[in-house]
Structure 1
Amino acid sequence: MEIIEAKLSDLPPFFEYLAIQLFDNAADNSPLFQPIAKEHCQVSDLLKAKFQNGFEFTTGNPDWRKLWLAKNRDDQILGHIDLRHYNDEYRFHRVLLGMGVHHAARKQGIGLKLLETVILFCRESSSIEWLDLNVLSNNLPAKKLYLKCGFTIIGEMTDCYRIDGKLIAETTMTLNTKIFTPLTAH
C-alpha cells in the first residue's frame, strides 16, 4: 500500500470509490459517518466540482483543496484524506480535514498512515498551523483514531443534525500541527 498525492487524472476513480463509500454510510444499521440521509448518499456534481476546482489553487488561497489516496498494488483506492481551506480570510492558518477508508480495508492502519501524511504536510507548510475536523459523535472508531493521533476534542454540538428521524451530535476536534510528533517516531 502506498499513499500518493492525487492529480486531476486520479479524480474519476476517486469519485467511483467515494460513491461506494457514501453507499456504505449507515449500511447494515451501522452508525452514520457522513451527515447525509441514506437516499442522498451520492457524489453530486457540486462535490465533484469542488474537488476539481480545488486543484487549480495553491495552498492558502480560498477554494484550494488537496487530496491523498491510499492505493494497493493493483492501483485500487483503499482510503483517502483531503484538506480544504475555510474560505475565510481570517482563518488562513487553519484547514479542514475529511477522510475515509474503504470498509474492507479498515483496521489495517491505513487511516493512521493517511493522517500522518497530512499532518506532516501541514507541519511543513509555513501557512498551516491548525488541522480541524468534525466527526459524528457516534463514530467511535474515528474519534478513537483522531485522539490517538493527538487531536483534542474542543466541543460537541448535540442535536446538530436530524437525519431519518434521529438526532445526531457532531464533535469538533483540532490539532496544532507545529507541535505534532509522528506516531511512528514513538
Structure 2
Amino acid sequence: MIQTLAKNITFDEFNAQYVNRERHYELHDEIVVEMPKPKGKHSIVTGFLMEELILTIIEMGKRGKWTIPRESIVKSSNGKSGYEPDIIVIDQDAIATESRWGSESIIEKAESVKLIVEVVSTNWRDDYFKKRADYEELGIPEYWIVDYAALGGRNFLGNPKQPTFSIYQLIEGEYQIKQCRGDDPIVSPTFPAFKQTPNQIFLL
C-alpha cells in the first residue's frame, strides 16, 4: 500500500530530506509519497528489461554515449514533482549540461533523457495518468509502461484486461501510443534494435 505524508514541501526540501534513504520516496504535486518496494516478478521484469536495453545500446553503437544510471530523480517542469523511474536511459553528452546532475543526480531537461520505463505495480494510476502527463509536458521523447500483471484500468488494457506493453512516443508535443500484447513485436522509435515481445518479458 502506498503511503502519503500529507505535508506540502518544495522539491528542494524533498531532495534534501527524502532522497537516498532506505525507503523509496517520490514527490507528487508537493506531497511526499512512500513507494512500494519492488518485489519478485516486478524486480525480475525490471532487471531483464535493463539487461536487454544495455545489450541494445551496445548493438546500436551507443556504448559510452547512452547509459542507465543506478539512481536519478526526474524533476517535473512545474517543479512540484520528482520521480525515480524504474529504468531511465540518459544521454551522457546532454547530461553534462545539467547543473544538478553531478552533485544530486537530478534531471531537469528532456534532452538528457532517451527513454523512461515504469513497470506497473499497485500504484498504476501514477504511471498511466500523473507520470505520463508530467513526462509529456517535460518533453521526454519516449516512455514505456510495462503492465505485466494487467493492473491498470480497462480503458488502458481492454476488457477483459490483458498484460500490455505501452510505448508512448512524443510527436509534436503530445504522446502517441502504441500497445503490444502477446507475441506482438515491440517497436521502439529510439531503440529499433530492441528485439523482444511482451510474452518474452511477461512470462519470465
Q: TM-score, normalised by structure 1?
A: 0.38
Q: TM-score, normalised by structure 2?
A: 0.35
Which protein, 1 or 2, shows the higher relative CO under an 8 Å CA cutoff with sep ≥ 6? Answer: 1
